[in-house]
Amino acid sequence: MASTAAAKEGGKEKFLVLPILVLILAQMGTSGDNGALSLAATALTQDLGATVADIQLANMVYSLMAGAFMIAGGMMGTIIGWKKNFRIGAALCALGEVVLAFAPNMMVFIWGGRVLVGFGASFMIPSVLGLVPKIYYGANRVLAFGCIGAASGLSALLPLVLGVVMELAGMKVTFLVLAVYFAIVLLLSFKLPEIEQNDGKLKFDGIGVALAGLGLFLFLVGISQISSWGLVEAFPGAPSIAGFSPAIPMVIAGLIVLAVLVVVEKKVEAKNGLALLPQSFLKTPQVLAGLAASAITFFFMGVQAILMAPYLQLVAGWSAITVGVISIVTGAPTFAFSMGIPKFCPNANPRRVIQLGYIVMASALGCMAMAVTKTGVNSMLIYLGAFLAGSGAGIVSSQANNVVALAVNERDAAQSGGIQTTMRNVGQALGIALLGAVLLFGITNSVKAEAANNAAISPEVNAQLADMNFSLVSDANFEAQLSEIDMTDAERTELVKINQDCRFNSTRMAYAVGACIVLAGLLTTPAIKIFKKEEA
């Protein structure tokens, strides 16, 4: 207990370096896993026959699992101990990466490997945020949370390294490297200092876990499948309810279950003293604003995952290594602002800092939208957008975690890691799903509409186009998709031009919608107050 006791003296004591390094490595690992998936877009298409919808689902499944079980992971840490919880998560992540490496098809890749990594993150990442309030106190805690936010910036190093590995050795070796990485994190966790444990009398909230898991799963699956199943009418070959898409009914059902969860959890906390969803999280406006900040930061990352990386690789033809360089441009300012603001501006107004971050993130999306061209991208604007993206994410991350922790008691602050990381994954899932839907619906509907209004396209060709869905692909892959339709060379050339225009306009529209959603976060910031320094 000596290490923790020493840290509790606040800023007068030396900041404990080794524990925060272990926690940063864990945070970086999950970010690196998601980065590797973005880099693997071309390899997945070539090796496993993946479509953009498959890649979208692979991104989503991690967020689905993590979002559905992250709150439960936070509660488990409170009951069994944060270090044990951390180790379970690291082991599951390592196993998941092995499954990803040897997956024979996208089914195993998505529902085997991605599920395991997401489930592992549900234990490990809440433990990262749960351990910080147990190890660090006072000014040291503010700095520690800033370091955790900076981990998103440091994780930018991993895609570059993994991009080189992927180019030289292939996708399988890349995921095996990540498996070894998580195994090392597991071993290093045994160096964490002793911390205070609970009294062993806390009860696991099984009803809450079941309701939260079911509600979040229904909500996130429904959102994620809108672009695959349809918004109202079901797409051909998609699941249907009397001809209608089940996506929106699943979203509504998920929200109803989550509403029931809120009612049930109030009674559970009154009876047992511990609930999956403490009332302090729901009744404290600052907590809600901090959770929104976490969600919006990762919503923004979801936007990058579904818009920027696929466009750069599939349309502009960038290599995995080149996309990895972009991650460095994003990660460096994320690291600098996440750590720099708590270190050099400890008295900064958290409300103003988060507001600034939202504005910078929205500006980054605007810059990326302007970077898109009909056949590629403007590289200079992409790099500028990436830099602004990292700056905005780092500015918000420097305050978001501590805003939540300062608004509740110590036990709830530790348990808040689960709901904070749930909100991150819900935000990322919404970014991928909503912007993916805007993108894919936009391309499909506008291609069909433009073709129908084009005198150069025959009614026979239009009739066959009506039964097709289109995605974000290169011109060559779009032509390949049209290969089964009997048409003239002039019609094919005209359709390629139409697709270029629709791809361009839909991508820009998706970026614009993303920017508006980020700016809507400003409405939550009045609830964030200025705090005095925490007493030791």
Binned at pLDDT 50, 70 and 90, residue 197 comes out as low
Task: Give the whole-angstrom CA distance, residue 488 versus residue 401.
Answer: 59
In this predicted model, what pLDDT tens digit does every residue of 98-122 receive, in sequence order?
A: 999 898 888 889 889 999 998 898 8
In this predicted model, what pLDDT tens digit does every residue of 247-256 receive, in sequence order?
A: 889 989 999 9
Binned at pLDDT 50, 70 and 90, residue 128 comes out as confident
Structure tokens at 236: 């051909």
Q: Residue 233 pairs with which residues in a beta bridge?
A: 244
Residue that wins the pLDDT comparison between 106 and 2: 106
Quick one: which H or E segment has residue 504?
helix 489-520
Task: Give the whole-angstrom CA distance, residue 144 versus residue 296.
Answer: 21
Task: Give the whole-angstrom CA distance, residue 344 versus residue 432.
Answer: 34
Binned at pLDDT 50, 70 and 90, residue 530 comes out as low
Task: Indicate the average pLDDT of the chain.
Answer: 82
What pLDDT is stored for residue 201 in this prediction?
Answer: 58
Question: What are the distances in angstroms from CA 102 to CA 14, 65, 96, 252, 511?
Answer: 45, 21, 10, 37, 35
Task: Give the whole-angstrom CA distance, residue 351 versus residue 292.
Answer: 13
Residue that wins the pLDDT comparison between 301 and 386: 386
In this predicted model, what pLDDT tens digit does every residue of 176-190 receive, in sequence order?
A: 999 999 999 999 999
Which residues have C-beta within 8 Å of that of residue 360, sequence separation ≥ 6? 388, 391, 392, 395
Neighbours of 345 (CB within 10 A): 11
What pLDDT is stored for residue 13 in this prediction?
Answer: 67
Residue that wins the pLDDT comparison between 453 and 69: 453
Binned at pLDDT 50, 70 and 90, residue 415 comes out as low
Tell me which residue of 31, 5, 42 sits closest to 393, measured CA to CA.
31
Residue that wins the pLDDT comparison between 230 and 255: 255
Binned at pLDDT 50, 70 and 90, residue 535 comes out as very low
Residue that wins the pLDDT comparison between 260 and 135: 260
Query: Mean pLDDT across the stretch 250-271?
Result: 88
To the nearest 10°, report the CA torsion of 146, 74, 22, 337. Answer: -20
Instruction: Find the farthest-apart pair of alpha carbons in the chain and give their distance in angstroms, rounded.
Output: 80
Of 209-213, 240-244, 416-420, the poorest mean pLDDT is in: 416-420
Q: Phi and psi for 423 in degrees, rounded to 5?
A: -65, -35
Which among 125-139, 290-304, 329-343, 449-463 has the top mean pLDDT? 449-463
- The structure's pTM equals 0.74
Binned at pLDDT 50, 70 and 90, residue 12 comes out as low
